[in-house]
């Protein structure tokens, strides 16, 4: 359990990729803070399960990723109650699919706030704690859309390109402090975020559900298979190891070959 005594905070972690990250860290003995929306009883079940797995502590924090003061308070709570802030995973994300001239402004604002700005605020608040210890791991969930574009996703693609830029910039700033900053760019992972965008894509493109899955979502992935959340989490776990200390400022694709084309 190589993360025993360390604390990981994962945003957007009540389901999907975020929960897979949390479970992977807990399995290596870390204290974990999960964050996100969902049914209170289901969240408590997951929180208790993380503690049972890790033998350490697990907290749930309902910080709203559009509110910088709540983000900062979550970081300080982790430091106070769990003793440190060693790993953060900026994973919270939402999606909306529409042509730019039909894209609701409020949806654009929300996507930029949650998918991009929250990562900046989390990183800003966490780095002083990591500098104080001389060790830290910052992992940003980007997307294949940090490297390539798809139609009708202007806000999301914009945010994910921004995440890649943020990753490289902060990596350079903290390179001499024992802190690494990397991003992981998954292709289509079968999560609620992906499932929930299917109806919008059906409407926008005039397709059936099966056509969206096979001809849109998996069309770009040569493997013709969804990436699994556990595969993404395994890569994040490796980036936390001491063997990965020289890896920083990198953008790792895990996309079934999508961006190789």
Residue 77 domain boundaries: 7-188+226-260
pLDDT of residue 192: 79
Domain assignment present for 196: no
Among residues 230, 236, 211, which one has the least CA distance to residue 16?
230
Q: How many domains does the chain have?
A: 1
Catalytic sites, residue numbers: 156
Domain assignment present for 194: no
Neighbours of 46 (CB within 10 A): 19
**The pLDDT of residue 261 is above 90:** no
Q: Are 104 and 98 in contact (CB under 8 A)?
A: yes
User: How many Cα atoms within 13 Å fall on the side-chain side of residue 127?
Assistant: 16
Q: What confidence category does residue 33 fall into, taking pLDDT thresholds of 50, 70 and 90?
A: very high
Domain assignment present for 174: yes
- Give CA–CA dist 225/186, Å, rounded: 12
Domain assignment present for 215: no
Strand partners, 179: 136
Domain assignment present for 180: yes
Output helix, strand, coil percentages for the chain, rounded to the nearest 5: 50, 15, 35
CATH number for 83: 3.40.50.720
Share of the chain above pLDDT 70, in %: 100
Cα–Cα distances in angstroms (integers) from residue 162 to residues 153, 155, 197, 216, in the given order: 14, 11, 21, 24
End-to-end CA distance of the chain: 38
**Dihedral sign computed on CA atoms, order 249, 253, 259, 261:** positive
Domain assignment present for 243: yes
Predicted structure pTM score = 0.94
* Segment 245-259, tens digit of pLDDT: 999 999 999 999 999
Q: What integer is the mean pLDDT of 92-107?
A: 96
**The pLDDT of residue 207 is above 90:** yes
* Segment 105-132, tens digit of pLDDT: 999 999 999 999 999 999 999 999 999 9
Domain assignment present for 208: no
Domain assignment present for 2: no
- Give CA–CA dist 9/86, Å, rounded: 8
Burial class (CB in 10 A: 0-12, 13-18, 19+), 231: middle
């Amino acid at each position: 359990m190589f993360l025993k005594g360390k604390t990981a905070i994962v945003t957007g972690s009540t389901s999907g990729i975020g929960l897979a990250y949390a479970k992977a860290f807990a399995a290596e003995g870390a204290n974990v803070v999960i964050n996100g929306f969902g049914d209170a009883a289901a969240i408590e079940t997951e929180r208790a399960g993380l503690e049972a797995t890790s033998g350490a502590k697990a907290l749930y924090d309902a910080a709203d990723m559009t509110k910088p003061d709540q983000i900062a308070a979550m970081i300080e709570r982790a430091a106070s109650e769990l003793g440190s802030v060693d790993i953060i995973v900026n994973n919270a994300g939402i999606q909306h699919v529409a042509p730019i001239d039909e894209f609701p402004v409020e949806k654009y604002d929300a996507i930029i706030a949650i998918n991009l700005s929250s990562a900046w605020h989390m990183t800003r608040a966490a780095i002083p704690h990591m500098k104080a210890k001389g060790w830290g791991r910052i992992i940003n969930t980007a997307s294949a859309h940090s490297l390539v574009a798809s139609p009708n996703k202007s806000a999301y693609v914009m945010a994910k390109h921004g995440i890649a830029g943020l990753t490289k910039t902060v990596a350079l700033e903290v390179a001499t402090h024992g802190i690494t900053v990397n991003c992981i760019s998954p292709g289509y992972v079968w999560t609620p975020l992906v499932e929930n965008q299917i109806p919008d894509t059906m409407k926008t493109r005039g397709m059936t559900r099966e056509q969206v899955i096979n001809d849109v979502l998996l069309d770009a992935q040569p493997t013709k298979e969804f990436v699994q959340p556990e595969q993404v989490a395994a890569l994040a776990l490796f980036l936390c190891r001491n063997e990965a200390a020289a890896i920083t400022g990198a953008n790792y694709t895990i996309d079934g070959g999508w961006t190789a084309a």
